[in-house]
Structure 1
Amino acid sequence: MRHLLVTGGAGFIGSNFVHHWLAAHPGDRVVVLDKLTYAGSRANLATVESDPRLRLVVGDICDAGRVGLLLEEERIDTIVHFAAESHVDRSIKSPEPFIETNVRGTFVLLEAARRYWEDEQTDCRFLHVSTDEVYGTLGPEDPPFSETTPYRPNSPYAASKAASDHLVRAYFHTYGLPVVTTNCSNNYGPYQFAEKLIPLMITNALEGRVLPVYGDGLQVRDWLYVADHCSGIEAVIERGQLGETYNIGTRNERRNIDTVRIICDILDSIYPERAGQFHQLITPVTDRPGHDRRYAIDPTRIETELGWRPRESFESGLRRTVEWYIDNRSWWHTHQALSFPSRQV
């Protein structure tokens, strides 16, 4: 029986992980620590919040006293660290919250875990969830990012995540803290805040609004369905080697403009009476500063060492995502007012 502390567990990936873990591990205890900022919501956990195995604590990962008390009260042996400021546009506009949450917040968690687990003999784990953006950008012919790719972050967001990755590594090598890091490609799926590319395009299209595509739309992203990401994290928690990094991706490289067109094609098939109208909404907008051109993940290590494989293709995952947003209009209507105009990946 594991006692998990899931930071950011009411956010997009975190809430999907909580749903996944509770279903797959009926004997475990899950404690969610979430500040419930714009991207985190109780509504993301509504279907499981009454589960006696789950506890939702509203709080900040930078609050060392709260974190330390939770570890003791709940006898936490596994920390799954999702909590982060994660949107590049927001980091360009206001980088300070990214340093506070992503760097200082990770430091507070590491220190609390080190102090609490110092004398523990149990199988404790600190799973740090990071991003492929720490590696920078790739050229058209460059090989995908691997676990040994040098860090070259190009945005304040990416730099803050790179700093947190280095802290996690240092706590393993200096203190022997039982850490594992995952770096994932771009996620998509249910409960994603509608400032990122895929949910923005879906929700805008459903309401007949412009589909803003940065620059020429030829930026390439490697897409990972969120449920597959959660199963990858599960594999690393259960079988990953301490002190190591595992890249999680699915070899689903797509140009942004092509992703938007596929979304429009799916909507055409669902709403044949509006066929063709969705594509007409695609509109180029001024590119963001320092926009990385291509991301791609090589998942060979997690595949060969841990036996992980994704279940969804890009097309099947994207259709499931479109259908979820159609079926959950009240969810994204509630969150939409918190977005801002330049919402994308």
Structure 2
Amino acid sequence: MQRIVVTGGAGFIGSNFVHHVVRETDLFVTVLDKLTYAGNRESLEALPADRVELVVGDIADAELVDGLAASHDAIVHFAAESHNDNSLQGPRPFLDTNIIGTYTLLEAVRKHGTRFHHISTDEVYGDLEFDDPNRFTESTPYNPSSPYSSTKAGSDLLVRAWVRSFGVQATISNCSNNYGPWQHIEKFIPRQITGLIDGIRPRVYGDGRNVRDWIHAEDHSSAVMTILEKGRIGETYLIGADGEKTNKEVVEMLLQLFGRPADDFDHVTDRAGHDLRYAIDSTKLRNELGWTPRFTDFAAGLEDTVQWYRDHEAWWRPKKAEVEAKYAALGQ
């Protein structure tokens, strides 16, 4: 490979991947991003122009996508509507992007024989009971519980069908919750961090017992690159770093980093259909492809993330008031 397309490459996980690719490989990257509220040009500003090109456009634009598939060796598909709260308020954009957008990309790579890697989420599997000793594996049945996770499940199934029916050269990865630089402040960890910077008491859904399996975005990036280079066509790989924490534990860790009491937060009405627990078993990825995470100390990674948001206030500050106003209108 010499040239790859990264869809959604100006968003949180996509931009982290683009930074990783530029730092660790010689590949030329074309970022295809619609630059909705979740995409930001500034996330790519520090990257060299001779290595990265930004194309502003929609993954559902068949003509645009066809031209990119024809002129590149691979497409890594991060672009997605991904916020559960937004999917509960207005599901339609999730269908347009996650289903129709993925279909459009699949038709383009089918036509041109372009390698395709599809980024998905552990949320397609539904949730686990708190005391369940099991974790999600590649054979776990799909059981999505929100418009977001159901459209991601649908896009995964489209990829599998295009591999089997049309011979598309594709792989899939389902990853646990990411944290790290460049994450939009509507998301759980950056919302809490930026609120704490402003002296706001954190707010936690329900009783805070919901468990998420956290992975640093840099580890996600290295895993995706490993799959792109070594993964078996048609296979799915789960990406995780054994980072299970309750939402309450995460907030308590953040409060400690800010020198505030561990109970200095408020409970708010729980999200509708809120999944209880996610947990990833990444044995297949580790054993078959030899990948291992580097950021295994969640507390240290969280501290680094707090510092990043302190150092990049100009990046997130213009969005803060709007995000908090939206949550306030919902009583959250």
TM-score range, shorter chain: over 0.9
With 313-322 and 217-226 compared, the bigger mean Cα shift is at 313-322
Tell me what 2:41 maps to.
42
Residue by residue, what CA displacement relative to the aligned partner does 1:278-309 show, whole Å, maximum 9, x if unpaired? x4641100001100000000011111011111
- Counterpart of 2:207 (choices 216, 224, 232) is 216
Runs of 4+ aligned structure 1 residues displaced above 3 Å come to none
The question of 1:113 aligning with 2:93 is answered no
The question of 1:92 aligning with 2:88 is answered yes
Any idea what SS the aligned residue of 1:147 has? coil
Tell me what 1:323 maps to.
307
Tell me what 1:129 maps to.
119
After superposition, residues 240-279 of structure 1 pair within 5 angstroms as: 240-268=231-259, 275-276=260-261, 279=262
Residue by residue, what CA displacement relative to the aligned partner does 1:59-103 show, whole Å, maximum 9, x if unpaired? 00010011112223xx21111000000000000000000000000
In structure 2, give the amino acid aligned to 1:7: T
Tell me what 1:197 maps to.
188
Distance in structure 1 (CA, Å) of the matches to 2:38 and 2:126: 24
- Counterpart of 2:57 (choices 46, 49, 59) is 59
Residue by residue, what CA displacement relative to the aligned partner does 1:77-133 show, whole Å, maximum 9, x if unpaired? 11100000000000000000000000000000000111122xxxxxx4200000000
Question: Under a length normalisation based on structure 1, what TM-score does the superposition of the two structures give?
Answer: 0.92
Offset of 1:210 from its aligned partner?
2.7
Q: Work out whether residues 205 and 281 of structure 1, in 8 Å CA contact, stay in contact via their aligned partners in 2.
A: no
* Residue ranges of structure 2 left out of the alignment (5+ in a row): none
Distance in structure 1 (CA, Å) of the matches to 2:45 and 2:59: 22
Offset of 1:337 from its aligned partner?
4.2
Distance in structure 1 (CA, Å) of the matches to 2:69 and 2:100: 18
Distance in structure 2 (CA, Å) of the matches to 1:169 and 1:65: 23
Q: Work out whether residues 8 and 82 of structure 1, in 8 Å CA contact, stay in contact via their aligned partners in 2.
A: yes
Q: Work out whether residues 255 and 264 of structure 2, in 8 Å CA contact, stay in contact via their aligned partners in 1.
A: no
In structure 2, give the amino acid aligned to 1:341: Y
Distance in structure 1 (CA, Å) of the matches to 2:286 and 2:63: 39
The question of 1:80 aligning with 2:76 is answered yes
Question: Under a length normalisation based on structure 2, what TM-score does the superposition of the two structures give?
Answer: 0.95
Distance in structure 1 (CA, Å) of the matches to 2:49 and 2:300: 30
Tell me what 2:68 maps to.
70
Offset of 1:320 from its aligned partner?
1.0
Any idea what SS the aligned residue of 1:341 has? helix
Tell me what 2:32 maps to.
33
Any idea what SS the aligned residue of 1:140 has? coil
Q: CA, structure 1 residues 280+218, in 2 after alignment: closer, same or farther (shift >3 Å)?
A: closer
Tell me what 2:271 maps to.
288
Tell me what 2:230 maps to.
239
In structure 1, give the amino acid aligned to 2:281: D
Offset of 1:245 from its aligned partner?
0.3
Q: Work out whether residues 38 and 338 of structure 1, in 8 Å CA contact, stay in contact via their aligned partners in 2.
A: no
After superposition, residues 17-28 of structure 1 pair within 5 angstroms as: 17-26=17-26, 28=27
* Residue ranges of structure 1 left out of the alignment (5+ in a row): 118-123, 269-274
Any idea what SS the aligned residue of 1:201 has? helix
Distance in structure 2 (CA, Å) of the matches to 1:184 and 1:334: 29
The question of 1:141 aligning with 2:140 is answered no
Offset of 1:334 from its aligned partner?
2.3
Tell me what 2:144 maps to.
153
Distance in structure 2 (CA, Å) of the matches to 1:33 and 1:226: 19
Offset of 1:211 from its aligned partner?
0.9
Distance in structure 1 (CA, Å) of the matches to 2:161 and 2:40: 32
In structure 2, give the amino acid aligned to 1:324: W
Distance in structure 2 (CA, Å) of the matches to 1:149 and 1:246: 12
Tell me what 2:288 maps to.
305
Q: Work out whether residues 109 and 115 of structure 2, in 8 Å CA contact, stay in contact via their aligned partners in 1.
A: no
Offset of 1:38 from its aligned partner?
0.4
Distance in structure 2 (CA, Å) of the matches to 1:68 and 1:338: 36
Offset of 1:225 from its aligned partner?
0.4
In structure 2, give the amino acid aligned to 1:55: E
Q: CA, structure 1 residues 307+209, in 2 after alignment: closer, same or farther (shift >3 Å)?
A: same
